[in-house]
Structure 1
Amino acid sequence: MRWLKRRFYSFLWFIAKLPFKLIFLSLRWVFSDKRLNRDGYVLKKSHSDGKDRLEHRVVAEGILGRRLEHWEVVHHINGKRDDNRASNLCVMSRTGHDRYHRWYDKVYESYKRYPPRETQLRQLTERFGGVLLGDSVRKKAG
């Protein structure tokens, strides 16, 4: 019987906190300059025009020092769409990106495991024409 009483009180506590959580989450959504879109990518509010832009494209443009062309894709190497570190991003053409994912899926189907990161990085640059942004940062610093 005590467990039922504990469950009931924890449920009451959850209900009591709910309005405060909803208010906090809605305020954070309104005043934050970053949010996730429906596909899991991070949207960042642009300071110049106030529009939402994909953060990984903004990071890539900052490292490359130019605007990305409409046919260029920013690939997340580890597959996590909210991980926008320069070491996790690679800029490539849309066709190269599609070819890379066909190769990646074929390797998984054949061996039932994904290729190692080193192999992925080598294939991205040599075979599919990608530019690793982590390397660009190191070249600028060095």
Structure 2
Amino acid sequence: RRRPGQMSAHAFVDFNSPGAADHAIQHGLYIEGKRVFARKFVQDPRRCYKCQTVGATHVAAECTAEGTTCGRCGTIGDHRTKECMATDSDLFFCPNCNTRGHGAADRHCPKFLAAIKTAAERNPERQMRFFQGSE
């Protein structure tokens, strides 16, 4: 779930051709009689689960950070994110933008948004809604 109160989830669907995918994006799909909307999957920027760096060029196994940083409260070396006891977002601390109120995985973090923008600038196809340029 991405939002509190979210009533639906997501699914990944593969198509045999870019044209079929574009048709689904443009017109939607019907699943169990319910119309659902489709969009092109865009990979999120990489995040190291050891140092929590967004837009990292490494993964946790290759991370050179001294200790593990909690992605929720930002504590270094004390515990991992899955062991964190902080549940109140006021206690969360983002090690990427050094701000209280959200954790390292927050999709509204300025550093996360900047990493998305950088990735889009490197690969303009990410910004296109369709696969075959039929916009």
TM-score (norm 1): 0.26
TM-score (norm 2): 0.26
Structure with higher helix content: 1
